[in-house]
Amino acid sequence: MFRFGVDYYPEHWPESRWERDAQLMQEAGFNTVRLAEFAWSRLEPAPGHFDFDWLDRAIAILQARGIQVVLGTPTASPPPWVMAMHPDAYRVPESGLPVTYGNRRGYCPTHDGYRARSRLVTQAMATHYAAHPAVIGWQTDNEFGDRCYCAHCCAAFQAWLQKKYGALDTLNAAWGTIFWSHVYTAWTQIPAPLATAAPFGDGSHNPGLALDYYRFMSDCYVAFQHEQVEILRKACPVHFITHNLMGIGYDRLNYFDLAADLDFVSWDNYRRMQWTFQPTVPPSEAALAHTAMRGLKHKNFWVMEQQAGSGGWQIVSVAPRPGELQLWAYQSIAHGADAIIFFRWRTARFGTEQYWHGLLEHDGRTSRRYAEIKQMGAEIARVGAQIAGSEVRAEVAMLLDYDSRFAFQIQANNPAFHYTAHVHDIYQAFHARNVAVDIISAQDDFSRYKLLIAPAHYVLTEQTAAAITRFAQQGGAVVVTPRTGVKDETNTIVDVPLPGYLAKLCGIEVEEYDSLPAGVSQPLAFTNADIDITEAPHAKIWCDVVRAVDAQVVARYTQEYYADSPAITLNAFGAGHAVYVATFGDAALYSALAGWLLKLAEVEAMAASPAGVECCVRWQGGRRLLFVLNHSTEEQHVVLPETMLNLLTGETTPLSAVELRPRQVMILAAPSGDGR
């Protein structure tokens, strides 16, 4: 069943309005509603006194309209009495100054008292709703979570380190604490890496300590969630458990670890945000976020918060244009969503999110946004069963490494370098060619892919290097980019030439490197005639000065003291190949490389589509479902890969090409069930 619904806050509105809301939801085609993730003060108005009557009545009204419910554990936003009971439970940011009451996610994830209160409210909800026929699943908390540096976390960190290293001598050796005479002689001497420890304002902590603290803090949220998951699994064994993550852009938690406890991943997809005030997130960035969330468990995902209007707390973002809400939602589905839940139902009249617009206006009127989603609901009713459970299949994979992300937060290497932006730069070149890519972890099975990309895999273990090498040995094509293999798992630079444990695979050695100033770049000269270059590619940000040991030179630098030295190399290795890209390039570089790499790896790409048109495939068994999305504001002509039918309209006339209006979406399938 395809889930289509909305996030609803009945506690914000008079009970006399609930029936009308449920009626409008039913008319919009909604079959699922998320409730209660911010309702702790209504659910437990005083310690140990639980009130579920109001929520029971709201659920009953929805259930009567054929709508089922996902409940959120309300621990992201505690009532004032909880924090008054535990005044030392406030989260302490890196500044060292604790937050105060008034927002959300202000709690410390290691605080024993706060976690005990969280278990109590979770247990009470789980017990009450375990057998409710309208409740189908749970969302833990809400958008975990920011790092805390309080005294409780510092003590817990010291215990975490003692368990990890066993002895202080081992820790001191791993971190190289002899530097600056930071040799620890008691576990209690080890600090949390507060910004106040940096007298020059550069945040310079021991890299080993800082990386371990980031790992520890991620583990704290995983453990906090696990306590709730254990309660819910025991009390509600037939319900699913998920969490609403924040896409690939959020880099404070290891999402692979957080997702391990979940039945499937959900995430919150916002394309226009008030804090960036940009017109829209580019389609390739949204596609990358969907891809990353799908890769956390190699499963289809839910979008638990799909944008329903302008976002806004203090500032109101640009309004979604007609057709954009549907377009963005269908893009989610095209990349693997099996549920679209819009945030929010009605725009709030009070509180911080007064300008985070929903499908209904502040006064409860239906809007053009509601009408647009109601139309989509009718379409989902026709095609949802054909989509649900279908899968995205990829032959290209890109490694996403949280240790490397954390390490780059500690030492950026170059102020212009951003790990996620680098991942997107590469991904965008494949997205432009409508090539499916999986985002995976180093612990995943590489053998299902033909092309494996390791972008700036800064912290590289010998085990991961061995797995990458084995993949190439057995016939795969590997791509390695700069700053890969620089550090070992302790965030210490390896004692071998870079790219460290992958130097033999790549057939090169990095002799030195040049960190480029802002705005400085240089064109590259290609020696490989198989690479189709339509625009001169440039090196920027970083240049590794490479010596080719066994590898062939594919491109060379043209300027500076390392002019004519290799910038891109190709090394035959076993039955496969390794490509080393020694610089962070511009869009022209990754575009040129993507086409060549697909041929090198023997990955068949879909036919090119016009600029602004995205084509994605989901497979239902042997049947191909082709999503064609026109992100542009102009009409577009698209030639199809085979004769297909338009599922959204139910047209039975076979199509070999389609005309798309601005922001139009088509879902197409072969006339028979055995489409290629």
Q: Token pair of 326, please?
A: 């549907």
pLDDT attached to residue 655:
86
pLDDT bucket at 274, cuts 50 / 70 / 90: low
φ/ψ region of 658 (left if φ > 0, alpha if ψ in -120 to 50, else beta) reads: beta
3-state helix/strand/coil string of 17-45? HHHHHHHHHHHCCCCEEEECCCCHHHHCC
- Residue 673 predicted with pLDDT over 60: no
Q: What is the pLDDT of residue 676?
A: 42
Q: Is 305 a catalytic residue?
A: yes
Q: How far apart are CA 84 and CA 101, in angstroms?
A: 10
Which residues are bridge partners to 479 per DSSP? 453, 579
pLDDT of residue 198: 66
pLDDT tens for residues 133-175?
999 999 999 999 899 999 999 999 999 999 999 999 999 999 9
Mean pLDDT of the chain: 96
- Lowest mean pLDDT, pick from 184-198, 215-229, 285-299, 463-477: 184-198
Q: What's residue 654's pLDDT? A: 84
Residues 80 and 192 in one domain: no
pLDDT at residue 489 above 90? yes
Angle between helices 419-431 and 402-410 (to 10 degrees): 130
Residues 443-477 as b/e (b if ≥16 CB within 10 A, e otherwise) read ebebeebbbbbbbbbbbbbeebbebbbebbeeebb
Per the domain annotation, does 660 fall within a domain?
A: yes
Dist CA 126 CA 562 (whole Å):
64
- Backbone dihedral region for residue 485 (phi beyond 0: left; psi -120 to 50: alpha; all else: beta): left
pLDDT at 171: 98
Q: For residues 501-512, give the mean pLDDT.
A: 98
Assigned domain for 674 exists: no
Query: Per the structure, how many domains does the chain have?
Result: 4
What token pair was written down for 384? 């949802």
CA distances from 530 to 413, 479, 557, 570 (A): 33, 17, 18, 12
Q: What are phi and psi of 288, to 5 degrees?
A: -65, -40
Section 406-410 average pLDDT = 97
Confirm whether 511 is a catalytic residue: no
Phi, psi dihedrals of residue 222, rounded to the nearest 5°:
-60, -45
DSSP per-residue codes, 615-632: EEEEEETTEEEEEEEE-S
Q: pLDDT > 90: what percent of the chain?
A: 93
Of 520, 506, 397, 391, give the one whose Cα is nearest residue 449.
Answer: 397
Does some domain include residue 606?
Answer: no
Q: How far apart are CA 276 and CA 315, in angstroms?
A: 10
Q: Terminal CA-to-CA distance of the chain, rounded, Å?
A: 24
- What is the pLDDT at residue 653? 79
From 37, 44, 285, 305, the catalytic residue: 305
The active-site residue, picked from 143, 285, 324, 614, is 143
Which candidate, 534, 557, 672, 670, places its Cα nearest to that of 611? 534
> Taking the model in full, what pTM does it have?
0.97
Confidence of residue 196 (pLDDT cuts 50, 70, 90): confident
Residues 442 and 554 in one domain: yes
When pLDDT is cut at 50, 70 and 90, the band that residue 670 belongs to is confident
Indicate if 124 and 159 belong to the same structural domain: no
CB 443 within 8 A of CB 401: no
pLDDT at 529: 84
In a domain, 67, yes or no: yes
**Among 50, 116, 106, residue whose Cα is nearest residue 83:** 106
State the CATH number of the domain containing residue 259: 3.20.20.80
Same domain (yes/no): 128, 232? yes
Task: Give the CATH number for residue 627.
Answer: 2.60.40.1180
Question: Is there a single domain that holds both residue 312 and residue 414?
Answer: no
Pairing of strands 337-343, 3-7: parallel
Percent of the chain scoring above 70 in pLDDT: 97
Asked whether residue 675 is domain-assigned, the answer is no
- Domain assignment present for 215: no
Task: Give the structural domain span for 347.
Answer: 3-146+220-387
pLDDT tens for residues 13-33? 999 999 999 999 999 999 999
For residue 499, what pLDDT is reported?
98
Give φ, ψ of 450 to 5 degrees: -105, -30
Domain with residue 402: its CATH number is 3.40.50.880
* Tokens representing residue 402 in the block: 């949280």
Q: What is the pLDDT of residues 45-60, one digit of tens each?
A: 999 999 999 999 999 9
Residues 172, 248 within the same domain: no
Averaged pLDDT, 506-532: 96
Instruction: Output the pLDDT for position 215.
Output: 98
Same domain, 418 and 564: yes
**Axis-axis angle for helices 15-27, 53-64 (nearest 10):** 30
Least confident of 6-10, 271-275, 579-583: 271-275
Residue reference for tokens 């699994």: 233
Task: Report residue 203's pLDDT band, with 50, 70 and 90 as the boundaries.
Answer: low
* pLDDT at site 672: 67
Instruction: Out of 271-285, 437-451, 606-620, pick the least confident.
Output: 271-285
Structural domain contains residue 608? no
Residue 28 lies in a domain: yes
Condensed to tens digits (0 to 9), the pLDDT of residues 541-552 reads 999 999 999 999
Domain boundary among 210, 241, 259: 210
At 607 the pLDDT is 82
Write b or e for each residue in 137-169: b if 16 or more Cβ atoms lie within 10 A of its Cβ, otherwise e.
Answer: bbbbbbbbbbbbbbebbbebbbebbeeebeebe
Last residue of a domain, one of 387, 409, 441: 387
Per-residue confidence (pLDDT) for residue 272, from 0 to 100: 74
Cα 85 from Cα 101, distance rounded (Å): 13
Give which of 18, 1, 10 is closest to 37, Cα–Cα. Answer: 10
Q: Are residues 401 and 506 in the same domain?
A: yes
Amino acid sitting at position 13: W
Cα separation, 525 vs 531, in Å, equals 11
pLDDT tens digits, 607-620: 889 999 999 999 99
140 and 239 share a domain? yes
Tell me which of 601, 626, 659 is where a domain ends: 601
Residues 116 and 258 in one domain: yes
Confidence at residue 175, expressed as pLDDT on a 0 to 100 scale: 98
DSSP H or E run through 213? helix 207-235
Q: Do residues 433 and 459 share a domain?
A: yes
331 and 450 co-located in one domain: no
Q: How confident is the model at residue 674 (pLDDT cuts 50, 70, 90)?
A: very low
